[in-house]
């Protein structure tokens, strides 16, 4: 009798564990996400899985994406459609520009989605709609922007840059459920929640941030001064004045300003979640090419101009 009771208790415990889907609200905020992985998909490492995006109606849009950075991410963005429902827009992250709409088969907006209690709710089923391993731990990113409702049913609606972003890891083994059905309705709606970074939960937050518009403006102003006015003027000073010390001093100042602008640009990209390996290579390559010009070709060209224009 005792063994039978123990076995029954174990079965009930296992069933309960399989019924729980993870929930996560970055920085203990009011934008939250959940995942549910059917047992069959978890075992195979592919197939259908479920996730939920929930955000207040004060948010203009909210999005969830695969991977650890915006570039190359498969993103799912929601916003109000103006009719009491939400629009689900699958997009592809391409770096520092607006994510582009990408049609995805196997993507479905489920029952329970819409506007409820001043919240946008999207219950989503993805049946092999993205290339994602459903085994182990997976990296995800999220972003959202506050503002007026877009009130659009178009999946290609233009969206403004996000106010806040977060990146985190999801342990799919802790989001497994027994059936391949919508886990976000009925009794499953009240599943346990993990807010912020938690070693014991299914989701661990790695970072978050809000890009500063002041930093962006400073980056743009400094780099514009350096490349549009500073370096050309420095090249003109040598043949006009014939004073290499003035030319050298001017170019050194521009060089220092360039690296200051580069640093501000990196800070903005990092805080906005835009940094990728290709982006870093492009930015560093541009700055290194300026150093090459400073030490070789640009000075040779200056000497040629001096011979032509300076008596």
Tens-level pLDDT at each residue, the chain (311 residues): 444 444 444 444 444 445 445 678 998 899 999 999 999 999 999 999 999 999 999 999 999 999 988 889 999 999 999 999 999 999 999 877 899 999 999 999 999 999 999 999 999 999 999 999 999 999 999 999 999 999 999 999 999 988 888 999 999 988 999 889 999 987 555 444 444 444 347 888 885 555 556 766 777 788 888 888 877 887 777 677 767 777 778 888 888 888 887 777 776 666 655 555 444 555 555 555 555 555 444 555 444 444 444 44
Under DSSP, the state recorded for 1 is: -
CB 71 within 8 A of CB 278: yes
**pLDDT at residue number 273:** 56
Per DSSP (E only), the strands in 112-230 are 114-116, 119-127, 137-146, 164-171, 176-177, 194-195, 203-209
268's tokens: 């903005």
Model pLDDT, residue 256: 85
Q: C-alpha angle 117/118/122, rounded to 5°?
A: 85
pLDDT at 220: 78
Q: What is the pLDDT of residue 7?
A: 45
Predicted local confidence at residue 198, as pLDDT: 40
Fold of 19-208: Immunoglobulin-like (2.60.40)
**What pLDDT is stored for residue 77 in this prediction?**
98
For residues 249 and 260, give the distance between their C-alpha atoms in angstroms, rounded to a whole number: 17
* Partners of residue 54 on adjacent β-strands: 32, 121
Residues β-bridged to residue 141: 65, 167
> Can you tell me the distance from the alpha carbon of 118 to that of 30, in angstroms, rounded to the nearest whole number?
11
Quote the tokens at residue 200.
């014991």
Residue 231 CA from chain centroid, whole number: 35
């Amino acid at each position: 009798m005792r063994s039978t009771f123990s076995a029954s208790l174990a079965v009930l415990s296992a069933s309960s564990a399989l019924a729980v889907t993870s929930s996560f609200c970055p920085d203990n905020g009011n934008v939250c996400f959940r995942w549910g992985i059917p047992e069959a998909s978890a075992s195979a490492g592919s197939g259908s899985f479920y996730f939920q995006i929930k955000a207040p109606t004060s948010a203009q849009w909210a999005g969830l994406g695969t991977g650890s950075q915006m570039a190359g991410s498969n993103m799912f963005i929601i916003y109000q459609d103006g009719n009491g429902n939400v629009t689900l827009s699958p997009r592809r992250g391409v770096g520092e520009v607006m994510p582009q709409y990408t049609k995805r088969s196997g993507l479905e907006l489920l029952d329970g989605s819409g506007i409820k209690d001043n919240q946008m709710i999207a219950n989503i089923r993805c049946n092999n709609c993205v290339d994602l391993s459903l085994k182990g731990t997976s990296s995800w990113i999220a972003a959202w922007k506050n503002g007026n409702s877009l009130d659009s049913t178009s999946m290609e609606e233009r969206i403004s840059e996000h106010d806040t972003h977060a990146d985190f890891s999801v342990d799919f083994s802790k989001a497994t459920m027994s059936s391949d059905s919508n886990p976000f309705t009925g009794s499953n709606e009240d599943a346990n929640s993990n807010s912020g970074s938690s070693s014991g939960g299914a989701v661990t937050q790695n970072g978050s941030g809000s890009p500063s518009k002041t930093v962006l403006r400073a980056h743009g102003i400094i780099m514009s001064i350096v490349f549009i006015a500073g370096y050309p003027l420095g090249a003109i000073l040598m043949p006009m004045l014939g004073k290499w010390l003035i030319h050298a001093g001017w170019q050194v100042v521009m060089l220092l300003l360039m690296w200051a602008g580069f640093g501000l640009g990196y800070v903005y990209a990092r805080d906005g979640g835009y940094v990728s390996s290709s982006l870093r290579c492009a930015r560093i390559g541009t700055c290194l090419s300026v150093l090459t010009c400073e030490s070789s070709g640009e000075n040779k060209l200056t000497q040629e101009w001096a011979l032509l224009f300076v008596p």
